[in-house]
Chain A
Amino acid sequence: MAALWQYGAALVVVGVCTLIALPLRPHLAAANLVMLYLIGVVAVAAKLQRQVALFTSVLSVAAFDFFCVPHYFSFAVADSEYLITLAAMLAVALLISGMTSRIRVQEAAAAEREARVQAEGMRTSLLSAVSHDLRTPLSSITGAAGTLRSHWEKLDVTTRNELLGSITDESDRLNRLLNNLLEVTRLESGVQLRKDWFPLEEIVGAALHHMKRHIAGRKIIADIPSDLPMVAIDDVLMEQVFVNLIENAVKYTPETTPVEILARRNNGAVEVEVLDSGPGFAAGHEHRVFDKFFRGRSNEVRGAGLGLAICRAIIEAHGGSIYAENRKDGGAIIRFQIPFGDSVLKHNGGTGGNGE
């Protein structure tokens, strides 16, 4: 059943058509006034339910008869010729409302089909990427463990250690991949940010500390001005951004090259750059590296292509934007900006007291 308000709306539409038709009545032929009412019927059929459109058709014919056909202000018809006009009008109105409603139903069905096809495609690419990336480390782990178990006595100490090393390394990799997948799922289902004011330096420091095994031996330079105001962010998610960006930079560049993290104030936003001196992005890939499952730089380096997609999702959830580009003298830059927040706190160097 259509809601009552829809019938009310139909009444209003027919009323408006009548109000327009009345002053025009002396100047226009009745057949042209019919057109006015038909426009009303089309409008209702395009927006409201089918039975409301049918109701509008009948109501329009009645209104036309009452207001626009002599004798005016009566349902009586002076000339029997008008009976044909009324019948034709009813037929056309019913036809239009029926067709318009049917088109709308078909449109909705088509949109739904398209969405399903798209989701199916996403799922297929996700499944193939994920199953490959999950199976590879899993095969190494079961293979290494199985070999150790069945040939323990025959293997020399070096080989045993290598196999044990690959078990721990590959488990690490599995763990990172699972974390990334969970993160993507969580972000896509619309994550609730837990924002508070943080010095950026602290977030970078936490990321570097938690990655210390990963970045051991690498030169990482963090240049964050000590007078940079605090920024309103979700600390757990922003740490993830830095971990992913640094991990990426380290992964794709020679061990001897440094990775730099720069931050500066740019109007109402904080701008952060992570720079490396590796091969950079292939031409034309700069925009695609943030797409899910896109593996930008090389096929030799393993990864599911989720790290930068997660960064983009988190930065955008903070109302910011993120870009990738190549350095003029070689290497990659990832740059992002996020607004400081509603107001910049002046707590730097403060001594406590009452908050806000």
Chain B
Amino acid sequence: MVSEGRKAALATRPEILLVEDDSQIRRFIKAMLTAEDYRLHEAITGEEGIAQASSRNPDLILLDLGLPDRDGIDVIREIRQWSHIPILVLSARGQEQDKIKALDAGADDYVSKPFAPGEVSARIRASLRRAAVLDKNEAGETVEFGNISVNLAARRVLVGGSEVHLTPNEYKLLQVLLHHAGRVVTQRQLLKQVWGPEHVNEPQYLRVFMGQLRRKLEADPAHPTYLITEPGIGYRLLLETEHN
């Protein structure tokens, strides 16, 4: 018999579709996600993944880029034609170009293999939370992380209780990162959204402004806690410290 409380939990447990051809990796991800109360569906090929993405309509897709039948980038593009389901890419370290391609094709984030403990769950949580953060952004609420608080309606930023003045571009940069909180944003995406499409090939601006933003928000800009650089890829705003 299932208790009432358990039934309610079952109804809200997020569904995750795992598309991965390696059975050992499927096995441990299944054990881990089941233990963390997610419901898991598995697909072994890209075709199967696309089919299940449409039939099961999961809350999130975990997609291995090296599938036997189809290029992972193609799978992302195809799913993106009809769905905004968050897609989290599993990829080997050192394949930065593949990760950028996946992100530009519409993936939400990536996790490098081998995964650090807690990394997969932290990324899943960040991607699932996306909707909630978006709502807050639109409602103009206050987002708080560490000793920093950002009031989105008043465009006010407080660090340790005292107001910090951000230039319009610095604020816009922070806003875009907040919009994608916890998830990586490629350089290209940031340049496009903050400076406009004509500036996507001028990453120096981005780096200068990111440095300024760090100096205003971080206690030690050379050892940041929130505004994280992913070399070769882009930036990530961390609201919660990852479980390690």
Contacts and interface: CB of A to CB of B under 8 A. Distances in A.
Interface of A: 168, 171, 175, 179, 182, 194, 196-199, 201-206, 208-209, 212-213, 216, 220, 222-224, 226, 230, 235-236, 238-239, 261, 345, 347-352, 355
6 contacts: A197-B204, A198-B207, A202-B207, A205-B222, A226-B215, A230-B207
A213 B211 CA distance: 24
Q: Report the interface size class on chain B.
A: 20 to 34
Interface stretch (B14-22, B66-74, B225-233): B225-233
A213 B244 contact: yes
Given A182-B94, A203-B231, A355-B202, A348 B208 contact: yes
B161 interface: no
A215 to B, nearest CB: 10
B195 A196 contact: no
B160 to A, nearest CB: 20
Q: Taking chain A's interface residues, is the majority helix, strand, or loop, or is none over half, making it mixed?
A: mixed
A346 to B, nearest CB: 11
A201 B222 contact: yes
A236 B97 CA distance: 11
B224 A213 contact: no
Given A220-B223, A236-B96, A352-B169, A206 B229 contact: yes
A239 B231 CA distance: 7
A206 B221 contact: no
Contacts of A235: 231-232
A222 B208 contact: no
Interface of B: 93-94, 96, 114, 116-117, 167, 169, 195, 199, 201-205, 207-208, 210-212, 214-215, 220-224, 228-232, 244
Contact of A204 (B169, B222, B230): B222
B116 A213 contact: yes
Contacts of B215: 226
Contacts of A171: 114
Contacts of B210: 202
Nearest to A179: B93
A325 B171 CA distance: 45
B208 A349 contact: yes
Contacts of A196: 203-204
B208 A199 contact: yes
A202 B228 contact: no
A208 B223 contact: yes
Contacts of A179: 93-94
Contact of B211 (A168, A202, A212, A220): A202
A80 B96 CA distance: 82
Contacts of A345: 204
A182 B215 CA distance: 36
Nearest to B202: A355
A197 B221 contact: no
A239 B211 CA distance: 17
Contact of B231 (A175, A222, A236): A236
Given A206-B230, A213-B116, A199 B211 contact: yes
